[in-house]
Structures are given as structure tokens and as C-alpha cells.
Amino acid sequence: MVQVLGIFGFLSFGWADVLDILMVAAIIFFLIRSIRGDSTVLNIVLVLVVLLVLQAVVSALNMRMMTVLLNTLLDVGVLAIIILFQPEIRHLLNRLAVNSGLAKRTGDLFNRLLGIKEEKMGSRSVVELSEAVRAMAADHTGALIVLQKKNALDEYIATGDRFEAEINRRLVMNIFFKNSPLHDGAMIIQGDRIVAARCQLPMSGRTDIPAHYGMRHRAAIGMSENSDADVVVVSEETGSISFVHAGEIRTVKDLQELRELVGESMTRKEEA
């Protein structure tokens, strides 16, 4: 293979260069796969990839003026992109960490080192939450409930009204009652506690979401894409219940299925 590549006499090409190209190609492939559906971030990445490839070509051909021009463009352009697209870049890096499992493994390591135990939901809280969701679905009361797991959600909690309360079906229903000042936005749950309401969630940039899903479902998908949290959605229009995990929506058929999904996500095994 080296002999075949040797026909390009102006290039010094060896096995290390082949490995280098394969590694870069793999990084680009996994990067694009992780951001598929987000057209804004995808366009940014594609432009950077094209500029980097062009820079490598003109540098190999010893085109000095083009090399200087592209180096300057990349230096200034990357800084401008970081400033202009800071939220998108933050979400991209967070999504890469979540999809690769790096965030979970790193979080587990730090939790063990610091002696922090993961908060999980008990069976009583699962029943209370499920009954509240069932009642709101029957009344066509819209709701957006985030079940926090490993990833910290402090930046989203800070956008709403924070409080500490045990999970209670009447409290959940009162928060999402249409005349309540807290009904507009998401509720965030940590373990057996409601920690915030009226929180703003990141909207998904995917273009393949069916049109019949509204803003609540798009926010739920965005939240599950940017963290390991699961989200329960009640549609105000149809009264249907959806469970969103890792960017995928699952329609909940009955109360038993809802309890099982919430239980699998959050329940701890209680000791006798």
C-alpha cells in the first residue's frame, strides 16, 4: 500500500500517516453521528472540517499564501464560532459526553471518591407521581416532569422556582393546574423530592420529530439528549402520556406501564 501511495512523489506518506487519517476520519464520523438532526451545529462542524482539510492540502503543496490565509481564518473563525455559538457548543460537548458514557463513568468515580450517594425514588413516590400523571391526563392538563438521574441539572433548576417538597399527587396536580403560576414549564424531581418547577428546558433541534408533537415533547427530547434524565409528558391537547428516554418517545398505554417505566428509571430496591 505504501508503494501505491508513493506515486504522489511530493507527499511523504507512511503507515503513521494512514493511521492518522483513519483516526481523524473516525473522530469526524462519530462527531457527525452524535449531532445528526441538529442542523445548526452540523453546519458549523462541516465548515470547520472543510477548512481543516483545505488547510492540510495547501500546506502539503507548500502554498504559502493560502496556508497563511487559512491559518488566520481558522484562528479568528474558531474564536468567533466559540463566542457566537457558545450554547450550541456547550450542548454538543455535553451530548458527546452523555452518548459516549464518559459523563456517567466520571460522575460515578467522583461520587465514590466524595462519598456521594445517588438519590433514587421510592415505591411510594412512584405511585404518587403515577397517579398524578394519570389524573392530569384524564383532565387534559399539560405537564412536563423531569426525572433526574446521574447528571446534575443545576443550570436548568436555576431557570425556575426552587423549593423542597416530597412527591405528592395533589401537589403535582396543583403545580400544573392551568391557573397556577408554576404550571408553565417543567418540574424537576430528584429522588423522592420535587426540587423545582417552572423550569426552562433545551429545545431539540431535530427535524425528524413528528408534527403532532408539541413544544413540551420537543423540550422533553432536548432534555433527554443533553442529559441522562428521563422525562414524562402529558399532552394538553390529547391527554396522552409519553415517556422520553435518550431522545426517543414512547407512548404510555396505561397506569401500570407508567409505573413500570418510572420504576425502572428511578426506584430503589427497598429492604424488608
pLDDT score recorded for residue 10: 47
Indicate the residue type of 205. Answer: G
pLDDT score recorded for residue 271: 35
Of 22-26, 89-93, 196-200, give the lowest mean pLDDT range.
89-93
Q: With contact defined as beta carbons under 8 Å apart, do 52 and 15 qualify?
A: no
* 161 pLDDT more than 80: yes
Question: Mean of the pLDDT values across residues 156-183?
Answer: 91
Band (95; pLDDT cuts 50, 70, 90): low
Each residue's pLDDT tens digit, 225-253: 888 899 999 999 999 999 999 888 999 99
pLDDT score recorded for residue 47: 75
* 104 pLDDT more than 60: no
Mean pLDDT of the chain: 79
Secondary element (H or E) of residue 145: strand 143-147
Query: What does DSSP say about strands 241-245 and 193-199: parallel, antiparallel, or unpaired?
Result: unpaired
How far, in Å, CA of 221 to CA of 267, rounded? 22
The better pLDDT of the pair 95, 181 is held by 181
pLDDT score recorded for residue 217: 93
Q: Where are the domains of the chain?
A: 2-99, 123-266
Band (177; pLDDT cuts 50, 70, 90): very high
| Predicted TM-score (pTM) of this structure | 0.63
CATH 1.20.120.1200 assigned to 123-266:
no
Q: With contact defined as beta carbons under 8 Å apart, do 89 and 82 qualify?
A: yes
User: Residues with Cβ < 8 Å from 163, sequence gap 6 or more?
Assistant: 194, 195, 196, 197
pLDDT score recorded for residue 40: 62
Each residue's pLDDT tens digit, 1-37: 444 444 444 456 677 777 877 887 777 776 666 655 5
pLDDT score recorded for residue 268: 40
